[in-house]
Amino acid sequence: MNRRVYAKDTKVSAVQSRGQIEAILRKAGASRIATMDEPLEAIGMFMLAGRLIRLRIEIPGDASEQKRWAIWRAIHLVVKAKIEAVAQGITTVEQEWLAHVVLPDGSTVGDWVEPQLQVAYDKGQMPTDTLMLEGPR
């Protein structure tokens, strides 16, 4: 399968994309906005609708600058789409960002639920209340 890479030829730098993402979030009412372009990951954190949200996207160690720019354009697209879907009433902040909501211990809802989801699929049954309350193992 020949997969098209989104924005692979973009001329928009990571710095420009980060600025655009931050502007979209500010316009949507987010606060405590931070974006970071680290060597092995792209990170975005912000408060929206009373929730601390953290996006963490792994970046391959051998990624070229162009590849990094393309990754940031894709993040821009995702953030813009989620914010617009909420603004149009298609979905809610919680529905769009749930996996990325930060819990009191610093993990995200996705970190907490993902192992339990796999167990549920492997066993073919819903997780028990006890398992859900205990969190990931």
Please indicate, yes or no, whether residues 82 and 115 belong to a single structural domain of this protein. no
Give the tens place of pLDDT for each residue, 15-33.
999 999 999 999 999 999 9
Residue 130: band (very low, low, confident or very high) from pLDDT cuts 50, 70, 90: low
Please indicate, yes or no, whether residues 122 and 94 belong to a single structural domain of this protein. no
Q: Computed from CA positions of residues 131, 132, 133, 135, in that sequence, does the dihedral angle turn out positive or negative?
A: positive
% of the chain residues with pLDDT over 70: 92
The answer to whether residue 5 scores a pLDDT higher than 90 is no
CA–CA gap between residue 44 and residue 48 (Å, rounded): 12
Residue 64: band (very low, low, confident or very high) from pLDDT cuts 50, 70, 90: very high
Q: Give me the number of domains the chain comprises.
A: 2
Please indicate, yes or no, whether residues 92 and 108 belong to a single structural domain of this protein. no
- Average pLDDT of the residues in 84-102: 96
Spatial contact of 135 and 128, defined as CB atoms under 8 Å apart: no
pTM for the predicted model, two decimal places: 0.86
Total Cβ atoms within 10 A of residue 59: 17
Please indicate, yes or no, whether residues 117 and 135 belong to a single structural domain of this protein. yes
- Average pLDDT of the residues in 75-79: 97
Please indicate, yes or no, whether residues 68 and 129 belong to a single structural domain of this protein. no
Please indicate, yes or no, whether residues 71 and 7 belong to a single structural domain of this protein. yes
- Average pLDDT of the residues in 57-86: 96
The pLDDT, as a whole number, for residue 74 is 97
Total Cβ atoms within 10 A of residue 24: 17
The answer to whether residue 91 scores a pLDDT higher than 90 is yes
CA–CA gap between residue 76 and residue 35 (Å, rounded): 11
Please indicate, yes or no, whether residues 55 and 117 belong to a single structural domain of this protein. no
Please indicate, yes or no, whether residues 53 and 22 belong to a single structural domain of this protein. yes
Please indicate, yes or no, whether residues 82 and 108 belong to a single structural domain of this protein. no
% of the chain residues with pLDDT over 90: 77
The answer to whether residue 129 scores a pLDDT higher than 70 is no
Please indicate, yes or no, whether residues 42 and 63 belong to a single structural domain of this protein. yes
Please indicate, yes or no, whether residues 46 and 60 belong to a single structural domain of this protein. yes
Residue range of the domain that includes 11: 1-102
